[in-house]
Amino acid sequence: MKRGQAFETMMLVISVIVAVAILGILLMFIGKIGPFGMTDARTAMQSCLREVHTRGYGLCMKESVNFKAGDIVLRKELLMDVPIPETSLTFQCKDKDICTKDLISLDSKGTRINVGSGISAHIAACTDGKNYAVTISRDNQKVSEDCLSAVKIK
């Protein structure tokens, strides 16, 4: 069977379209992972909140989360893609080593996290189905305990 010149050209165009689509999907996954397994705080908090909201209960923890110097994490900003009422979410930072004005501080209303200088910490998000909490700590065990006590899960 003889094929014309247009067949070869169309095969080339189709293969380019497929390659670009695969590249787009791969870049999306690589962007979520972050460099060397480190995740930025905002992305980690959003994914944990999404995970516990989907389940309807429980705890999600992320280790080695990067807080960038000068960053501000707003409560309403975290909930843009997650259907949780803004008043249901509280932030907690009880670790005396990092919860200082110079490193990580919370505002008095509990609506934002202020990062003074860059730091790596653990975060946890949890819910009892109605109330949600996000906690920050350097201690892996303490971060989960603080989160669960914030929403009163034993």
Whole-model pTM over 0.85? no
Token reading at 140 = 């892996």
Angstrom distance (rounded) from CA 31 to CA 28:
5
d(CA 100, CA 37) in angstroms, rounded, equals 26
Which of 3-17, 29-43, 50-64 bottoms out in mean pLDDT, i.e. has the lowest? Answer: 29-43
Sign of the torsion formed by the C-alpha atoms of 39, 104, 48 and 25: negative
Report d(CA 39, CA 79) in Å as an integer. Answer: 18
- The average pLDDT across 15-42 equals 79
At residue 35, the pLDDT reads 53
Q: Give CA–CA dist 139/31, Å, rounded.
A: 27
pLDDT digits (tens, 9 = 90+) for 20-32: 999 998 887 776 6
* 78-120 per-position pLDDT tens digit: 888 889 999 999 999 988 889 888 899 998 877 889 999 888 9
C-alpha Rg value of the chain to the nearest Å: 21
